Amino acid sequence: MANIGFIGTGIMGMPMAANLQKAGHQLFLSEHHGKAPAELISTGAVALATPQRVAREAEFIIVMVPDTPQVEDVLFGAEGVAAGLSPDNVVIDMSSISPTATKAFAAKINESGAHYLDAPVSGGEVGARAGSLSIMVGGQPRVFERALPLLQSMGKNITLVGGNGDGQTAKVANQIIVALNIQAVAEALLFAAKNGADPARVRDALMGGFAASRILEVHGERMINGTFDPGFRINLHQKDLNLALAGAKELGINLPNTASTQQVFSTCTALGGGNWDHSALIKGLEHMANFSIREQ
């Protein structure tokens, strides 16, 4: 069993850390931004004051925070992880952040004699709790193999995509696909309901055909029932689409449907829905149509 530093115990990080603990690993948590969760402390995790101190105690340091600036602060800020690393430590960033920044962060860590994996996840809070996340990894194969038992405690579909940054690139691609599918389902259900059809029955019919998808199954039901408590918040999906659009600008390519979906998310945010589940994108379309599929 390994000594693991885990920094970032939010909606996703908390169940991921708990699954590592259940697998028998010793956790070290940083309290630089708040108290460590009592649930983890009561089952053996150790709370320390800073990321630097966490890195000194751990062989592997996992980071699971919201965005690129937070990862940079955890790694390279005052009393950050980098200041506490020993040669051959492994930093595993499981946040969803900029692929370009990831390559720069990895270069700094690798130059120190430690190792870096970018390993963002997909599957939401449900997958985090079930230990069934998809994990997209960028890094050296030998470092990946060393970290694989830890990743298997948190996920099922674990793929070494390529070198540092390629895991984050895969995650951005994933978020493009998920967002566009959410918009497709929302538009279809809005169209059906406005035409007088029962959206629930339309969804049932579509689940038996080529339009069937996990998004239609899970998020289509959320849209029909109006259950928008966050599994994955709109403002976080907006962050990921911003990464996609910024990357597209760097690459000189156009992602028109990604840009369109981002605009609908922005409508939701303007309505006060930044913390709604991303399936609530339909509320942005409903606002523009002045029609709700749940009030027909």
pLDDT tens digits, one per residue of 142-199: 999 999 999 999 999 999 999 999 999 999 999 999 999 999 999 999 999 999 999 9
| Predicted confidence (pLDDT) at residue 57 exceeds the cutoff of 90 | yes
* Gap between the Cα atoms of 254 and 257, Å rounded: 9
Helices (H), the chain: 13-22, 38-41, 51-57, 68-76, 99-111, 124-130, 141-152, 166-194, 199-206, 214, 220-225, 234-251, 256-270, 281-289
| The pLDDT of residue 145 | 98
Nearest to 122 by CA among 14, 240, 28: 240
pLDDT tens digits, one per residue of 69-110: 999 999 999 999 999 999 999 999 999 999 999 999 999 999
| The pLDDT of residue 292 | 98
pLDDT tens digits, one per residue of 213-249: 999 999 999 999 999 998 889 999 999 999 999 999 9
Under 8 Å between Cβ of 210 and 289: no
pLDDT tens digits, one per residue of 119-142: 999 988 889 999 999 999 999 999
| The pLDDT of residue 45 | 97
Q: CA angle, corner 171, sides to 203 and 58, nearest 5?
A: 125
Average pLDDT over residues 209-215: 96
Compute, in degrees rounded to 10, the torsion defined by CA atoms 223, 226, 231, 236: 70
Average pLDDT, the chain: 96
103, 171, 194, 249: the catalytic one is 171
| The pLDDT of residue 34 | 85
| The pLDDT of residue 55 | 98
DSSP code for 280: G
* Beta pairing class for 121-122 and 133-138: antiparallel
Q: Is 108 annotated in the active site?
A: no
The tokens of 240 are what?
Answer: 């990921």
Confidence of residue 296 (pLDDT cuts 50, 70, 90): low
| The pLDDT of residue 231 | 82
